[in-house]
Amino acid sequence: MDVRIHESWKKLLQEEFDKDYFQTLVNFVKSEYATKTIFPPAKLIFNAFDLCPPENVKVVILGQDPYHGVGQAHGLCFSVPDGVKQPPSLVNIFKEIRDDVQTPIPVSGNLERWAQQGVLLLNATLTVRAHQAGSHQKHGWETFTDSVIQIISQHCDHVVFLLWGAYAGQKTGLIDTSKHLILKSVHPSPLSAYGGFFGNKHFSQANDFLLAYGKTPIIW
């Protein structure tokens, strides 16, 4: 089927788009948007892919599903648009960056600037009902995003995968560790951040890895 997504991704993912499960997923998602309030706005479902084509991917950060509050989700995991209050997990991410690489905490929680540098901000589930966390899980998105991770592992070289929390950590088996770096810790949520997210130094470690392979580091 024809999916509106960055042309480079389209070539890599077309086989996935043509599978029966993906058509079933599309039908479910279209029905949900037609009858309920769903986030992100439909035109931003593939925003992470459009801002970070496969040839640019240096780092993958994996979230679980989009923010389910009004005005928060815009297709990039952990990110919120300009002018929207930073959610607690994002606040903790910025605190760790400040302590790790001495970058001041920004006013905006919009992470498009990361995406444009080669950070794929990928949620495992790309849509959600308003105020119902996890409501679009187990409808096919996870099958799709697992394939995305495998395709990155196969087609890209020397990518850093930041896997925070138990859910993201389960994706380790999809990644070829002979050429990619996996950095795991607890989730940046306030419920767990003090159990090993703070002090994990993932941002400096990611940049050290990129530099070692002649890539430009990320300005976090």
pLDDT digits (tens, 9 = 90+) for 80-111: 999 999 999 999 999 999 999 999 999 999 99
- What is the residue-averaged pLDDT of the chain? 97
Residue 65 designated active-site: yes
DSSP one-letter string for 80-93: --TTSPPPHHHHHH
| Strand order from edge to edge, sheet including 181-185 | 119-123, 59-63, 160-164, 181-185
pLDDT digits (tens, 9 = 90+) for 26-54: 999 999 999 999 999 999 999 999 999 99
Q: Which of 50, 65, 100, 208 is catalytic?
A: 65
